[in-house]
Amino acid sequence: MLLLPQDHSAALDAVEPGHRTARRVWVAAGACLVLAAVALGGLFRTEAEGAYAVWRNSTAYNHCFLILPVALYLAWQRRDVLSGLAPRPEFRVLVLLLPLSVAWLMAAMLGVLEAQQLLVVTMFQVAALAIVGWAVYRAMLTPFLYLYFLVPTGYFLVPALQRFTAWFTVLGLRLVHIPVFWDGTVIEIPAGEFVVAEACAGLRFLIASVAFGVFFAALMYKSRFRRLGFVALSIVVPIVANGLRAFGLLVLAEISGGASMVMADHIIYGWVFFTFVTFVLIFIGRSFTDHDDIAAAPRRSPPAADVAPSQAWSFAVVAGLSVLLAAAGPGYAALLDRRVSAIDLAAAPAPGVAGAWHTTQVDAPWKPVVVAPDRTYLQGFDDGSGHVIRYVALYTVGGLHDNLGRGFNEIADFEHWRLVARGHARTRIDGKAVTVATTQIENSAHRLLIWNFYVVGDAIFAGRIEAKLAQLRGLVGHASPVVAFVAVAAEEPESPAAAAAVLTRFLSESSPIEPYLHRLAAGSGSPHG
């Protein structure tokens, strides 16, 4: 009888070292994963700070504060499955980080913060896969992928959501025989005129609903088909529900005759309505759950032979390599920024003009609204038969130091000017045929025709995107680190053709701007030549 306890004790002694070894491996892998996440957060601080600012300031993304706790809870829910697995570094997937970092650099130069943030989360996904290995990452796929909800994306859907809400509302009004006039997002009924504004598009409800839908599906369903079905419901239901909400508000306004009273609290009505919709969505989701069929996986410890204490150092190595490879893009951007930091445009002369043109007073209160140029010039020119206003913005551009063509730039301050038309025109600059962007604006005293273009390297571009793409192509070349935005304007007293003739003559007699920019980049320059 004494042999049984002795055998049982020996068995425990044999298993306990395996437990301790497995625990050490998990602690090492977990610590390296957390350290890699912190390092990536510091390396891409601009993206993290930008996301936090949107979470805090936009009601559409307040729920993002809950994403990380929810992801951790989803990971905790999988602890039984993880107890039977051991993390193993996967060095091969590290090859994905370098192209992702290069893609991040391109997005940073284009100024697309949303794309930068998505790429940072993707780089973390690759780092996590490299640290814990395929088996563990597959078991943790849902909580890992849930981290994509940290990125405040989806604003591009607003116009489409506005159009759908307006269409759905008008369809409902016609079905109940309420007279309606519809023009885009403007809806007019006898009770008054209503606009489906951005705040009424339903984006905040849609994004929060999708985040909730993925969480609910991960908890309540084992079947992949059921999970996808509920996520699809969480997309469709809030969009249709927002249309019903808008329709109901307009019907209520028509019945009560108090449009202003109804619309004053329409946001509050919306939250109450969508709280009810969420409960309905949960009720529907529970009706086809297979949660009761999911048997809890028994906890089982990996045998001692499955893990090795020597793996601890490999987790640190793969985490360090992950951060280093992810840092390639920011590192190259820093090198480019160092190149432009030595260029001082404070004393740079303005581009020259030849022919009969001479400087004079600016005769119209116009200038473009642009983001953070390094140097600007606003000058008037006259040749006796025409007057031109020229605006030049100079930029030193590197990796992250690049304000050329930011999305908030405007050709005029539209609080004081009215936009008449936009288009393109062909003209000649420095003997070369080029395309320029055209804009017509007016106020109570002036009507202007404006031509504008970007100068990057040795080329002229009419559009911001084309100029940005040219900068990307210059990443591997020797493009000039000084670029320009140029806009010229002429009064349009009789016809656009007369103003266009003045601008054509002015540009054809202006000094070439590409050599001028090259001289500024080289640290020299003269007003002419």
315-328 pLDDT, tens digit per residue, is: 999 999 999 999 99
CB 368 within 8 A of CB 408: no
What does the chain come to in residues?
529
Residue range 368-393, pLDDT digits in tens: 988 888 889 999 999 888 899 999 99
pLDDT value of residue 271: 65
In 291-441, alpha helices (H):
311-326, 328-341
Burial readout 417-444 (b: 16 or more C-beta within 10 A, e: otherwise)? beeeeeeebebebeeeebebbbbbbeee
| 398 vs 33, more confident | 33
Dist. CA 464–CA 408, nearest whole Å:
11
pLDDT value of residue 266: 56
- Rounded mean pLDDT of 268-282? 74
The continuous run of DSSP H or E covering 107 comes out as: helix 97-110
- Rounded mean pLDDT of 478-485? 78
Closest by CA to 484, choosing from 516, 510, 506, 509, is: 516
Confidence of residue 10 (pLDDT cuts 50, 70, 90): very low
Confidence of residue 359 (pLDDT cuts 50, 70, 90): confident
User: Per-residue pLDDT for 490 more than 50?
Assistant: yes
The continuous run of DSSP H or E covering 440 comes out as: strand 432-442
Backbone angles phi, psi at 447, to 5 degrees: -135, 120
Count the neighbouring beta carbons within 10 Å of the beta carbon of residue 115.
18
